[in-house]
Structure 1
Amino acid sequence: MTTTSPHAPLRPLGASHARWASGFWGTVQQHTFHTSIEAMWESLSDPAVSPGLRNFQVAAGLEPGQHDGPPFMDGDFYKWLEAAIARLEVAPDPELAARIDELAHLIASVQREDGYLHTPTLISERTASAATGEEAAVALADRFHFETYNLGHLITMGVRHYEVTGSEVLLNTARGAASFLEDLATNKPVELARSAICPSHYMAVLELYRATGEERYLRLSEAFLTVRDDFEEGGDDNQDRIPVREQKVVAGHAVRANYLYAGLADLVAETGDEELTAVLSNLWDDVIDTKLYITGGCGALYDGASPDASPWQQDISRVHQSYGRAFQLPNTTAHNESCANIGMILWSERMLAATGDARYADVIEQIAYNSLLAGISLDGREYFYTNALRQVRDLPYALRRPGDTGQHPVPAPPASDARLRESYLSCFCCPPNTVRTLARFHERAASLSAEGLFVHQYGGSELSVENEDASLSLREDSDYPWSGRLVFTVTAATGALPLHLRIPGWVAGATLIVAGEAHAVSAPGSYTRIERTWAVGDEIILDLPMPVTVLRGNRLAEEVTNQVAIRRGPVVYALESADLPASVLLEQVAIRRGTVFTPVETEIAGTRVIALEAEFAVLPATPDALYGELDDAPLASTSARLVPYFTWGNRGVGEMSVWLPIAW
């Protein structure tokens, strides 16, 4: 979201008004710009590693050959470009600008006259010949070719390219793609509905509407919803079994769900549809209250069925990479695709803009400091596709590899193969999605509304805003999330623009001092309003106490019964076998009630973090048999440390768990 919408009172700030200039997020963003984006380009531009660039070169007739890689590779290439454009906006670079311009013209040159752009089909059209009897591929012949997904990311990237560079090369390409979707909505609605999986195009056409002001794109977004609701061949896996307005719970593929609801939240920001707003609010609550992992992970199940879709077995809808039942949250087999977690950020930030409710910003923070950052290695070069909360040795079955989407399987690894991040995944949707999210994370820092400046996320921002009669510039100095002391200094100001600071839902006992005087603090999970005539040098000091918190799960979350998780501030912690004595196994470690956790500064893979040291109970070894007698020997003890969940897996293969048993 980049511009004003009539029914979204909060307007997110772009790079000209919000920057991560220092602190935690400043470091992450610089690492993203100078390591992740460049390393990913090395992969995408090297045909020995990735067909990302070469597919466009082949489609343009610049190289011989056939399409290679998954059919959604185009969209993943566009996501990388979106990240590169974000870097260009924040840190102008002539060499990068020239590379992006060259790629823009390459992509535009491939587009068909009707606006269609999908390299597998376009390459097939180019290489098919009557002499060989090879027939050209047909657009939308297979819903798992992800054409609308690709077109959606093309449009989003094209709009961002125009906003940052002023060039209309990719904006015109975006217009063409939207025209193709318009034709489908009008003349081939069934084909459009059948192909509308991972619906990035919902968000995309509304970005195009905001950039151009052309009403046709708003009408197109409404047509997408109508086409989906009229579709009679749907299922829970794609959230099209029943009309959206009748949906009470979130089911099916978590990426598809979160993208859909984010796009619909964009729609209500433009239309003010109160009924649809209420539906989205209830669905969001369903996820947060019953289906969200403590790390912010979304989509618990690799595969399954949707048993509530129908009482008849033949009509039960298959589900894939999906939300399960309420409180169905396995740990070792948790799927939590990185794209799904990012999709929840997209959905939540749109709900935040529409409502101003701090709970949406709380969830963005929960995801950002935990499952989002876990999806990328600390050196910024390797990625997770799934984000489990537990890893154990000698797992007697293989978990799906990133390249196996369910439609295009790749060989499974040996059953003992543990999760490790990889620099290049054959299913490459998550890495560029992670990188574009981090590259644009400054857009989640704060918003401006008629009520003033709202600061949502902390971690080293510089903000500068103005309205009709006032302006305010702030610099945040903090060691957040390792310390809860936040110091905002007014660096420029005119008038009395109100300032709203988020008081996180996890905090208790927050204090606030404004220009040397104590100021009342609102309840956790809200914004504290500060209204005064600002002067340069004014300091706003917000202290958020960060005691270590021991958390339990709901009684219905059976996978975590009699276990606890540890959180300090917004950061969830985990135990890795690397931090245990060789004689103690992961499953033996338990937490006693009243355990004191001591924060200690340390480094993991060259990254400074705060770990938690404590004395843990050591349980008797578990039996080799399926069941065995309880050993009543006295419990031993061991010293160990917990590390931030997002840092796990950066020290080689090992075991890990977020949830640990209680030793009563």
Structure 2
Amino acid sequence: MTTSSPHAPLRPLHAAEARWSSGFWGSVQDRTFTSTVPGIWQSLSDGDVSPGLRNFRIAAGLDAGTHDGPPFMDGDFYKWLEAAIAQLEVAPDAALAAQIEELAQLIASVQREDGYLHTPVLIQSRQAEQAVALADRFHFETYNLGHLITMGVRHFEVTGSTTLLDVARRAASFLEDLAVNKPVELARSAICPSHYMAVIELYRATDDPQYLDLAEAFLRVRDDFDGGDDNQDRLPVREQKVAAGHAVRANYLYAGLADLIAENGDRELLEVLEGIWNDVVDTKLYITGGCGALYDGASPDASPWQQDISRVHQAYGRAFQLPNTTAHNESCANIGMILWSERMLALTGDARYADVIEQIAYNSLLSSISLDGSEYFYTNPLRQVRDLPFPLRRPGDTAIHPVPSPPPSDERLRERYLSCFCCPPNIARTLARFHERAASLSSDGLFVHQYGGSSLDLAGGVLSLREDSDYPWSEQIAFTVTAATEGGVPVHLRIPGWSSGATLTVNGRAEPAPTPGTYARLDRTWAEGDVIVLTLPMPVRVLRGHRLAEEITNQVAVQRGPVVYALESTDLPDGVVLEQAAVRRGASFETGRREIAGSPVTVLTTQLAVIPDADEDALYTDLDDAELLTVPVTLIPYFAWGNRGPSEMSVWLPVVW
């Protein structure tokens, strides 16, 4: 992330300046460090479960065997290491530090002298088999190298060790050689381009301009390559107007380009990214923050000729094409949208980007992991139904790494290990580093972006704030000044775009009413003991969709604060099935507290109408004019669904009068 980038007004605060010390995100962080990070390591290090560690040991000559797993497995290993390094930064631990250093030495030992590191090829070479680097764009070499560089930079920043920083430098040198001598091969292999973000991180850590030049070269060779919508290389970047193709690849690309803008100030490119980001948020983003609606999309605008329309997996579809049961919303795509949005926030200071980060974080990000932090979703649908007459595509169900057919759709639950393991370590590193999304510093003071239990301590004791709140469940957020040097600096608090009627007080005295979708600026001489109270009223909102979003026509969703709610069949009365449940216009909702799988959440109770059941065997059935019954039900936070065994679930429900 930005530290001293000349064209990014905001820089994030790292662990020494920002942490989740209490509240909602404090609990999530504790769970991440006690369950998620060690649990993923148990999988990666157990050869009977995952080849993650074993592949590196075979490549180093420590074990015998052949490469196993998908070609991007190296990147999954690096993402887990990044999460472990973040844990080491927040909660230093000698045993974890020693484990990380041991793995760093292992990784360094298998890297080729030219900087190339891809265990499938290195294992083949060790066994005297013919192996060619970059032979297939779907071998994901540059994706793996990007995560390697990012992890290496974080290792250096946290520990001061240059072991993995040297590995990162050599990997960047390999990419630089490609950019100069094999630009076509580089552009063709730029699948899911994590290396765009990575080399900028390396530039910021080393202040070596060759890495900034390399990032600019990545854009150049991409624009010269004749590709397709699947990888966002059909059109030069500056000609792109809408998000198309594979959603993870798109979000990673645009996040990397935003990093480049922070360093070179390319205003034209910033306008392009703003336009594409608006296209996603205005027409293609689920209410939960999910991205990439389609299991199997197409590239309908790439050619007027039907035979030239190619399939695109995990795709952004057309505007308002937002199915619910078949929604893909890969966890990595949702994380990619956080990465892109936080960079746009740093570039512009516009609160709408922080709003979207919040929308994703409290809904689709948290839905991707179980409430105990040990099991994961690859996809994040908005509706799950029983007896689906066709299997939904699942992780690994591709030509790259086939797995057996998935279980019946009504038994879809989170899993501890997925054959396509890209999402779990990505979830882990995102949650382990979520304190970096709490706040930023600019020349105009402190900007607080996310609420949920932070402690903020600016360097030199300039200003320290302690947040006390039960956000997102409760309306009141209090910040106490615990230190201030020479009066501190102005404080800017985000007023969410979803809010209405927010109020602000300082030491009990009212401030001017803040405007939703902006930052409220508080400029005064701060003193220890000052208390800022932000109150964000949280009435239950019943929301409808755009007229062109066909699958949610005449349906509504329920939201309170930033949290989207869902109806799970577990909470339906006996004899009522999911498709019978409907919201009455004008229905009232009561808030209450409940534990789901040991986690306390705020639930909503209401009365739902019961639509007469239809003939399940008939495609069409006469409308029954019987009087609608009413039953009491409980709605739960969307992120909490699927933690109580197999169930049906829906975010959107029919509305009746």
TM-score (norm 1): 0.98
| 1:581 partnered with 2:568 | no
| 1:509 partnered with 2:501 | yes
Q: Which amino acid letter does the alignment assign opposite residue 237 of structure 2?
A: V
SS at match of 1:501: strand
Checking the alignment, whether the CA contact within 8 Å between 1:2 and 1:13 is kept in structure 2 is no
Map Cα deviations across residues 604-663 of structure 1 (whole Å, 9 max, x no partner). Answer: 000000000001100011222000100000000110000000000000000000000001
Question: What is aligned with 2:481?
Answer: 490
Checking the alignment, whether the CA contact within 8 Å between 1:395 and 1:416 is kept in structure 2 is yes
Question: What is aligned with 1:305?
Answer: 298
Checking the alignment, whether the CA contact within 8 Å between 1:2 and 1:14 is kept in structure 2 is no
Checking the alignment, whether the CA contact within 8 Å between 1:365 and 1:570 is kept in structure 2 is yes
Q: Determine the C-alpha separation between the residues in 1 that align with 2:320 and 2:641.
A: 24
Checking the alignment, whether the CA contact within 8 Å between 1:510 and 1:545 is kept in structure 2 is yes
Checking the alignment, whether the CA contact within 8 Å between 1:396 and 1:415 is kept in structure 2 is no
SS at match of 1:613: strand
SS at match of 1:602: strand
Q: Which amino acid letter does the alignment assign opposite residue 59 of structure 1?
A: A
5+ long unaligned stretches in structure 1: 129-134
Within-5 A mapping of 1:57-96: 57-96=57-96
Question: What is aligned with 2:115?
Answer: 115
Q: Determine the C-alpha separation between the residues in 2 that align with 1:289 and 1:418.
A: 33
Q: Which one of 595, 602, 605 corresponds to residue 613 of structure 1?
A: 605
C-alpha deviation, 1:412, in angstroms? 1.8
Checking the alignment, whether the CA contact within 8 Å between 1:6 and 1:270 is kept in structure 2 is yes
C-alpha deviation, 1:409, in angstroms? 2.5
SS at match of 1:594: coil
C-alpha deviation, 1:404, in angstroms? 2.1
Question: What is aligned with 2:362?
Answer: 369
Map Cα deviations across residues 556-597 of structure 1 (whole Å, 9 max, x no partner). Answer: 000000000000000000000000112000000000011011
SS at match of 1:638: strand
Q: Which amino acid letter does the alignment assign opposite residue 620 of structure 2?
A: Y
Map Cα deviations across residues 521-543 of structure 1 (whole Å, 9 max, x no partner). Answer: 33100000000101100000000
Q: Determine the C-alpha separation between the residues in 2 that align with 1:87 and 1:641.
A: 36
C-alpha distance 329-455 of structure 1, shift in aligned 2 (>3 A): same
C-alpha distance 159-24 of structure 1, shift in aligned 2 (>3 A): same
Within-5 A mapping of 1:513-592: 513-592=505-584
Question: What is aligned with 2:97?
Answer: 97
Moved more, 414-423 or 368-377: 414-423
Question: What is aligned with 1:15?
Answer: 15
TM-score (norm 2): 0.99
Checking the alignment, whether the CA contact within 8 Å between 2:410 and 2:646 is kept in structure 1 is no
Q: Determine the C-alpha separation between the residues in 1 that align with 2:325 and 2:108.
A: 44
| 1:244 partnered with 2:199 | no
Question: What is aligned with 1:132?
Answer: none
Moved more, 307-316 or 398-407: 398-407
Map Cα deviations across residues 104-159 of structure 1 (whole Å, 9 max, x no partner). Answer: 0000000000000000000000012xxxxxx3221000111100000000000000
Map Cα deviations across residues 199-238 of structure 1 (whole Å, 9 max, x no partner). Answer: 0000000000000000000000000000000002x00000
| 1:271 partnered with 2:227 | no
Q: Determine the C-alpha separation between the residues in 1 that align with 2:299 and 2:403.
A: 25
Q: Which amino acid letter does the alignment assign opposite residue 188 of structure 2?
A: R
Question: What is aligned with 2:429?
Answer: 436
Within-5 A mapping of 1:293-332: 293-332=286-325
C-alpha deviation, 1:318, in angstroms? 2.3
Question: What is aligned with 1:196?
Answer: 190
Q: Determine the C-alpha separation between the residues in 2 that align with 1:92 and 1:451.
A: 32
C-alpha deviation, 1:309, in angstroms? 1.1
Q: Determine the C-alpha separation between the residues in 2 that align with 1:550 and 1:220.
A: 48
Within-5 A mapping of 1:209-224: 209-224=203-218
Q: Determine the C-alpha separation between the residues in 1 that align with 2:372 and 2:469.
A: 23
Map Cα deviations across residues 175-205 of structure 1 (whole Å, 9 max, x no partner). Answer: 0100000011111111111110110000000
Checking the alignment, whether the CA contact within 8 Å between 1:320 and 1:406 is kept in structure 2 is no
Checking the alignment, whether the CA contact within 8 Å between 1:20 and 1:29 is kept in structure 2 is yes
| 1:360 partnered with 2:353 | yes
Checking the alignment, whether the CA contact within 8 Å between 2:452 and 2:469 is kept in structure 1 is yes
Q: Determine the C-alpha separation between the residues in 1 that align with 2:293 and 2:399.
A: 16
Within-5 A mapping of 1:168-207: 168-207=162-201
Moved more, 606-615 or 470-479: 470-479
Question: What is aligned with 2:415?
Answer: 422
Q: Which amino acid letter does the alignment assign opposite residue 200 of structure 1?
A: S
Checking the alignment, whether the CA contact within 8 Å between 1:304 and 1:318 is kept in structure 2 is yes
C-alpha distance 644-272 of structure 1, shift in aligned 2 (>3 A): same
Q: Which amino acid letter does the alignment assign opposite residue 603 of structure 1?
A: E
Checking the alignment, whether the CA contact within 8 Å between 2:2 and 2:262 is kept in structure 1 is no
Q: Which amino acid letter does the alignment assign opposite residue 54 of structure 1?
A: R
Q: Which amino acid letter does the alignment assign opposite residue 9 of structure 1?
A: P
C-alpha distance 409-417 of structure 1, shift in aligned 2 (>3 A): farther
C-alpha deviation, 1:102, in angstroms? 0.2
C-alpha deviation, 1:316, in angstroms? 1.7
Q: Determine the C-alpha separation between the residues in 2 that align with 1:87 and 1:2.
A: 20
Question: What is aligned with 1:634?
Answer: 627
Checking the alignment, whether the CA contact within 8 Å between 2:332 and 2:422 is kept in structure 1 is yes
Question: What is aligned with 2:469?
Answer: 478
Q: Which amino acid letter does the alignment assign opposite residue 182 of structure 1?
A: E
C-alpha distance 583-473 of structure 1, shift in aligned 2 (>3 A): same
Question: What is aligned with 2:328?
Answer: 335
C-alpha distance 157-405 of structure 1, shift in aligned 2 (>3 A): farther
Q: Which amino acid letter does the alignment assign opposite residue 217 of structure 2?
A: A
C-alpha deviation, 1:320, in angstroms? 1.0
SS at match of 1:609: strand
Q: Which amino acid letter does the alignment assign opposite residue 170 of structure 1?
A: L
SS at match of 1:616: strand
5+ long unaligned stretches in structure 2: none
Map Cα deviations across residues 221-279 of structure 1 (whole Å, 9 max, x no partner). Answer: 000000000002x0000000010000011000000000000000000000110100000
Moved more, 337-346 or 302-311: 302-311
Q: Determine the C-alpha separation between the residues in 1 that align with 2:205 and 2:362.
A: 31
Q: Which one of 136, 142, 151 corresponds to residue 145 of structure 2?
A: 151
Q: Which amino acid letter does the alignment assign opposite residue 575 of structure 2?
A: S
| 1:142 partnered with 2:132 | no
Q: Determine the C-alpha separation between the residues in 2 that align with 1:167 and 1:136.
A: 35
Question: What is aligned with 1:161?
Answer: 155
Q: Which amino acid letter does the alignment assign opposite residue 15 of structure 1?
A: A
| 1:409 partnered with 2:405 | no
Q: Which amino acid letter does the alignment assign opposite residue 201 of structure 2?
A: E
**C-alpha RMSD of matched pairs (Å):** 0.9
Checking the alignment, whether the CA contact within 8 Å between 2:410 and 2:647 is kept in structure 1 is no
Identity %: 76
Q: Which amino acid letter does the alignment assign opposite residue 576 of structure 2?
A: V
Checking the alignment, whether the CA contact within 8 Å between 2:391 and 2:406 is kept in structure 1 is yes
Question: What is aligned with 1:131?
Answer: none
SS at match of 2:446: strand
C-alpha deviation, 1:310, in angstroms? 1.1
Q: Determine the C-alpha separation between the residues in 1 that align with 2:50 and 2:407.
A: 24
Q: Which amino acid letter does the alignment assign opposite residue 473 of structure 1?
A: S
Q: Determine the C-alpha separation between the residues in 1 that align with 2:528 and 2:382.
A: 46
